[in-house]
Amino acid sequence: MFAVLVYLATVSVFVFSFLGSRGPASAWFWVERAIDCSFAADLVLNFFTAYERAGLLVTDRRDIRAHYLATWFVPDVVTTFPWDLLGVSQRGNDPSQHNLLKLPRFIRLIRLFKLVRLTKIIRLKKRMTRLEIKLRLKYGHVKLVGLFISVVFSMHLFACLFYYVASLDGFDGSWVAQDGIPSDLYGRYIAALYFSVYTITTIGYGDVVPENTRERSFTTVFMFLGAAMFAYIISQVSNIAGELTESSAHHRRMMDSFTDFATYRDLPDDLVVNIRTYFQSEHRRQRVINEQQLLQRINRELRIKVIKFMFGTSVEHSRFFRSIPKDHLDDVYNTLVEKFADKGGRIYSEGDEPSFFYIIIHGSVQIQARGAPPVNLGKDDIFGERDLLFNRTRQSRAISTSSTGLVQVPRRAVMRILQRHPRALKRLRDEEALMLWNNVINVSEEQIQYQRFAHDLRENAVAFIRQNGPNVVRQQPPVRRISRQASSQEWRAMPGASQGSFGASGYSLTDTGDEQENSSQDSQDGMDLTTRAMKTELQRKTLQVSELEAGLRDLQRQLDLILRSTLL
């Protein structure tokens, strides 16, 4: 029925106005009979078609019949009657009567009001919605398309009526008989459409004008309608354009106000750039907030489907969910939160509670940990997982190195899912415990290496001083050479490696015999300089060892907690 009404609004109106009534020998005659049959079938079906009342679908046949008889029955009967058959039967009579018999045929245009009714049918509405989604159209774009179609249809209808009014008494003395009007049917339609367009748009060139009273009467009414339609078009286009650019226009007005403020206060250029960058970030952040508000307005099932489409692939790549079925992650998707971080902003700091792990949507992040080189991450990378399982405080900090969009996955949602899958939880705990043991071993090895290096450095320094005696002051400070000698030696077991000073080794740097006691004061000063340099180097190494010992003790405490929780 929708296609039939579109045909009636376009082709059928043209046939009535420009071709007139056709006999059985014309193909248009049989097309019109098919239209009549479709209208008659629609009239019958409306007695059995359910309708909506107060949001509910009414299916009772008595109510359906009573509703149809009280609403669309009379217009449907009038518009279904084949009025053009009267014109065919009066073909040999007065031509003016024949043209007047075509006038009731336009009553069929009443059925065009059913276009609005048909668009409310669920199936057609779904098709329109799918088309809108497929073309990625906003509601304002759909309104613009609908407005454009309405204007084109109105111009086409007025053009057909303008030609029809000229044909009522023949074309003598009408606008069709003017000089410059083509004699072919296509040229006359273009001339009528041209008159319709410049009348509706209030341009009015005046090269096609009405010539008699009937045409002037029609044109007078047409100009009133055209002026009203033109005003309506302008207002609708302005409203739609404002709706489409509302958020961007607000942002531009704010930026313009700040520019005026910066000019008035003569702010430095660097500060202005920083503030404008901040406003741009706020604009993007507001868009993320608006998206979250939209997602909260839809039901849980649809919201999970949307979030799964946007972030599902990245979430499933997390080591927490690799062995968990994808359809069991709905609770996780329902708790995801999108976050925006400015350049240089801290996402978390060392010592923070591990409430989330993060997925990078766009931008970049740098992970900084003590005693380790920084790690740079980019799009689709995951970070912050390591501390979640045993709820350890953060051992590093994460800093955004550009404007970055993130997805936060809450720890409580992760643990809820893992508790429903104990095998996956046990496997992850075993992996975490093994990783912590490896860290303990690595720290212990580094501690032992530093202690052995300090012992060998002390031993080589004492041997060097005893060998060179007073001449050591005339040479370059031997700290670097002694260090290279110590580092090139094989590590060997040493029971007193934890001692960190010269005096603890049992050696004395000044205990070199009577010859050293009788050396000059300059030689003693040189010895003191060399000794102080070597002591400074050893103190630095001792400080590093102390830091490593502190880290080892912290790891041991955390490992105890892990073992206790694993046993439980």
State how far the Cα of 520 lies from the Cα of 531, in Å rounded to an integer.
17
Chain-centre distance for alpha carbon 110: 45
Q: Where are the domains of the chain?
A: 1-135, 137-244, 247-291, 298-420, 435-567
Do the strands 56-58 and 51-53 form a parallel or antiparallel pair, or are they unpaired? antiparallel
The predicted structure's pLDDT at residue 399: 93
pLDDT along the chain (568 residues), means of 10: 73 79 71 80 84 77 87 78 62 50 57 53 54 66 82 90 83 84 89 91 82 89 89 84 66 76 82 77 66 74 84 85 84 85 87 91 89 87 85 88 88 89 84 72 67 66 62 48 49 39 37 43 48 62 67 63 54
Closest CA to 358 of 331, 329, 328, 378: 378
Closest CA to 4 of 61, 53, 43: 43
The predicted structure's pLDDT at residue 426: 84
Phi, psi of 145 (to 5 degrees): -65, -45
From the candidate CATH numbers 1.10.3720.10, 3.40.50.10490, 1.10.287.70, 2.40.50.140, the one assigned to the domain spanning 137-244 = 1.10.287.70
Q: What is the pTM of this model?
A: 0.48
Whose tokens are 């410049």? That residue is 198
**Can you tell me whether residue 170 is helix, strand or coil?**
strand
The predicted structure's pLDDT at residue 502: 36
Helix (H) or strand (E) holding 367: strand 365-369
- Strand-pair partners of 409: 357
CATH homologous superfamily, domain 298-420: Jelly Rolls (2.60.120.10)
The predicted structure's pLDDT at residue 553: 66
State how far the Cα of 271 lies from the Cα of 46, in Å rounded to an integer.
71
Shared fold status for 137-244 and 298-420: no
In this structure, the dihedral spanned by the alpha carbons of residues 243, 244, 248 and 250, taken in order and rounded to 10 degrees, is -10
State how far the Cα of 216 lies from the Cα of 550, in Å rounded to an integer.
101
The predicted structure's pLDDT at residue 83: 66
Whether the CB-CB separation of 559 and 440 falls below 8 Å is answered with yes
String of DSSP letters for 430-495: HHHHHHHHHHHHHHHHHHHHHHHHHHHHHHHHHHHHHHHGGGGGGSPP-HHHHHHHHHHSPP---T
Whether the CB-CB separation of 382 and 317 falls below 8 Å is answered with yes
- Strand-pair partners of 339: 406
